[in-house]
Amino acid sequence: MSLPPLAIPATGFFALLAIATWLLWRSSRSALRSGLEARKLAKETGSHHARLEHPWVDLSRCIGCASCIRACPEQGVLDLLHGQAAVVHGSRCIGHGECAANCPVGAIALTMADRKDREDLPALLPEMEAIGSPGLFLAGEVTGYALIRTAVDHGTRSARGAFTRKQQANLRSPVIPNGEGEQLLDLCIIGAGPAGLACSLEAKRLGLNFITLEQDRIGGTIARYPRQKLINTHEITLPLGGKIEGRTYQKSELMELWTKLCFDHQLPIQEGFVLESVQKDQDESFTVKTEAKAFRTRSVCLALGRRGIPNKLNVPGEDLLKVNYSLIDAHAYQNGNFLVVGGGDSAIEAALGLAEQTGNQVHLSYRRSAFFRLRARNHLLLQEALREKRIQVHLETTVHSIELDRVLLKREGKPTPLLAIPNDQVFVLIGGSPPMPILKEAGVSFDPALGPNQDPPAERGVGLLLPFLVATLAVGILLIWGLWNADYYQANALDRLSNENDNWLRPAKGVGLFAGIAAAFLICTNLLYLVRRSRSVPLKTGSLSKWMSAHISTGMLALVLAILHSGFSWDNNLGGHAIIGLAFLVGTGALGRYFYSFVPRVANGREQALEEALMNLHTNAKSWASVHRGFGETARREIAELIDRTRWHHGAVGSIVGLIKSQRDLRLTTRRLASEGRRQKVDATSLSQVLQVAKRAHRDALVAGHFEDIRSLLASWRYLHRWAGLLVVLLLAAHIWYAYRYGNLGGSS
């Protein structure tokens, strides 16, 4: 018996596919496990909780392509859990929005964290004006949003608000002297960071009479970044033609740009002026008071940032000249003993920077027991520095006193409470006191009830409706066309030759040929989606989600046209195989995506139930333990182990064996718990509660495990889809070449 010609390559192809699927299944299980561990840790340390803007993932759409994770400039905000994107370290999000922009299926929206517990966020109108204080504008990070792009936008809007206010007051002349000869400014801007500078540029463009006051020097937080810091940003258009075009910048490049803009446009920036208060006057104007001078103004823009005045240690010796509150250039410090105080990103970056210089001994003192809320990169670099002993970390210590050549650290609860370390310079990087008192005094409200109320985003479904409608329409037209010319399409190959329509319906002529060319063109267009998605190709026109819709629609239309081109008859030849491949491609694309989005959602739901069960277990364990010593801990341990065994199996065989063994495992666990409970004389109600928890947790773990298996298998659809795509392209190329070489495209039939 002879095998069909394609049998051997097809068997090889499917065997390879099976192996690849199995490998993927294994690696996705272990990635999931570590992802869940990371999320658990994030929840324990509180870094799971987003502070303000953060991504929200529509699980009914997410296809788990990880584009969002790759696009995010911050690390660890998102991860793939159960094959879909999930927020892990929400607090690391500073609102870049790259995840949403790079999601091909529009599954991510930036949303606000719950503001009700935040009493440090000013209540503002959309124009950046403080609610209840007309003429008082807030811009940039002081509003709680941390991005250069946002600061520029806020600053620009504030200047426009001041301009409108001037127009409304019908102030024709920019400078109006009051009775005492004092000038009334149109706008007084405090702070020359990105927000204050953008506000100044726009004020200049609008012809306002304004002044900008800065306590330190222009550049704001950027001026205080470490020298080597790489800044991620979007394209930003500044007023008066200034542009930030690239996506990454060196600190020096941005500082040069700001300085040039200030010089070119002769911005009235006064350095060394520290704002003390803003008072509202009777005539709806303001008096801005600094140590040196007071200014009267119709509008005020507070672009103060959030760092305000650096926090101090308030310990003996802090007034020594060697104590600094920022580190700008670590290169300037070599061959010395340095102490960095603090546990945030700034402190860690400073310690790492100092440790890189020759001959430095770097100590880091932090009052807490671990570093929470660090950026992932800093966390990794710190671990590396600790392993290589480049930095000595003193956790749970505070500075007791600073002397000329040493520092004394206080260690709570240690036998020797004071630790002396040699020291040349101290860097105190423990944040700043935000400028909230000045804002409150100026009339800014921080009432969370006044802030914008954003409805939580809602799931929108897979989003395939439009492409399906297009495809249904195309199939409908195809069917009508087929029925219209049924006498030709129903005939066999020989009879077709004698049919009068053969000259324009056959694949190599008229409509048939046109449909073939159009199908090939659509397939090429379809592949452009991959080019747009690639991070190494600079084609960035249009949003990825629009490209994805076009990808689906062109794929489906290409199939319809290919069928028309074939004259509804695909034989055992290159063209016929290309059509079958195309149909498989469309199937794996559209249907695969539908099911893939559906199953992980269910898995995520189960996962939540399981997490809740585990949390309840921890809480209950404490209460059980308080009544029956030891039993609570035994129950917690037994149930946690049961969940772990039920949920995580090793390999496909392990899954099947695990399924059979899991009921027995549950029976044994509950039996052990019941006898231990009786031995410890636990009352019947508590015991039955514990057994119920064990059964529920077991059921959730079982279901979560199975969904996970299904999801891992379904995850292979994308790979199947890609390989099918490659196959179709190869078959199509061979088909076209063959038709040209041996077909009679130009000849008579």
Ligand X SMILES: Cc1cc2nc3c(=O)[nH]c(=O)nc-3n(C[C@H](O)[C@H](O)[C@H](O)COP(=O)(O)OP(=O)(O)OC[C@H]3O[C@@H](n4cnc5c(N)ncnc54)[C@H](O)[C@@H]3O)c2cc1C
Closest contact distance (angstroms) between CB of 679 and ligand X is 57
- In the window 429-448, what residues touch ligand X (CB under 6 A)? 435
Q: Which is nearer to ligand X, 195 or 557 (CB)?
A: 195
Spatial distance between the Cα atoms of 122 and 129, rounded to a whole number of angstroms: 10
- If one asks whether residue 196 binds ligand X (CB under 6 A), the answer comes out as yes
Answer whether 110's CB lies under 8 Å from 100's CB.
yes
**Member of 111, 164, 183, 221 binding ligand X (CB under 6 A):** 221
**Stretch binding ligand X (CB under 6 A), from 298-306, 508-516, 518-526, 601-609:** 298-306
Q: Which is nearer to ligand X, 198 or 362 (CB)?
A: 198
- If one asks whether residue 307 binds ligand X (CB under 6 A), the answer comes out as yes
Please report the DSSP string for 692-718 in residue order: HHHHHHHHHHHHHHHHHHHHHHHHHHH
- If one asks whether residue 190 binds ligand X (CB under 6 A), the answer comes out as yes
Q: How many CB atoms lie within 10 A of CB 622?
A: 11
- In the window 337-356, what residues touch ligand X (CB under 6 A)? 345-346
**Stretch binding ligand X (CB under 6 A), from 60-68, 229-237, 459-467, 647-655:** 229-237
- If one asks whether residue 220 binds ligand X (CB under 6 A), the answer comes out as yes
CA-to-CA separations, 138 to 153, 218, 442, 445, in angstroms, rounded: 12, 18, 11, 12
Q: Which of 118, 243, 103, 186 is nearest to 547 (CA)?
A: 103
Q: Which is nearer to ligand X, 104 or 196 (CB)?
A: 196
Distance of CA 74 to the CA centre of its chain: 7
- If one asks whether residue 222 binds ligand X (CB under 6 A), the answer comes out as yes
Q: How many CB atoms lie within 10 A of CB 645?
A: 18
Give the dihedral sign, CA 514/517/519/524: negative
Question: What SS3 class is residue 574?
Answer: helix
**Residues that contact ligand X, how many (by CB under 6 A):** 36
Q: Which is nearer to ligand X, 255 or 528 (CB)?
A: 255
- If one asks whether residue 213 binds ligand X (CB under 6 A), the answer comes out as yes
**Member of 233, 337, 566, 597 binding ligand X (CB under 6 A):** 233
Q: Which is nearer to ligand X, 148 or 701 (CB)?
A: 148
Token representation of residue 343: 């546990």
**Stretch binding ligand X (CB under 6 A), from 47-55, 184-192, 412-420, 474-482:** 184-192
**Member of 76, 90, 144, 308 binding ligand X (CB under 6 A):** 308
- If one asks whether residue 242 binds ligand X (CB under 6 A), the answer comes out as no
Spatial distance between the Cα atoms of 597 and 608, rounded to a whole number of angstroms: 17
Q: Which is nearer to ligand X, 29 or 154 (CB)?
A: 154
- If one asks whether residue 601 binds ligand X (CB under 6 A), the answer comes out as no
Q: Which is nearer to ligand X, 147 or 704 (CB)?
A: 147
Class of residue 388 by CB neighbours under 10 A (exposed 0-12, middle 13-18, buried 19+): exposed
Q: Which of 299, 238, 245, 289 is nearest to 264 (CA)?
A: 238
CB burial string 199-229: b at 16+ within 10 A, e below? bbbbbbbbebbbbbbbbbebbbbbbbbbeee
Q: How many CB atoms lie within 10 A of CB 403?
A: 13
DSSP, res 84: E
Closest contact distance (angstroms) between CB of 438 and ligand X is 6
**Member of 63, 257, 304, 687 binding ligand X (CB under 6 A):** 304
Q: Which is nearer to ligand X, 194 or 242 (CB)?
A: 194
Closest contact distance (angstroms) between CB of 112 and ligand X is 17
Closest contact distance (angstroms) between CB of 425 and ligand X is 20
Give the dihedral sign, CA 668/673/676/679: negative
Spatial distance between the Cα atoms of 477 and 473, rounded to a whole number of angstroms: 6
**Member of 305, 592, 632, 705 binding ligand X (CB under 6 A):** 305
**Member of 57, 121, 138, 146 binding ligand X (CB under 6 A):** 146
Which residues contact ligand X by CB under 6 A? 140-142, 146-149, 151, 190-196, 213-216, 220-222, 225, 231-233, 274-275, 303-305, 307-308, 345-346, 435
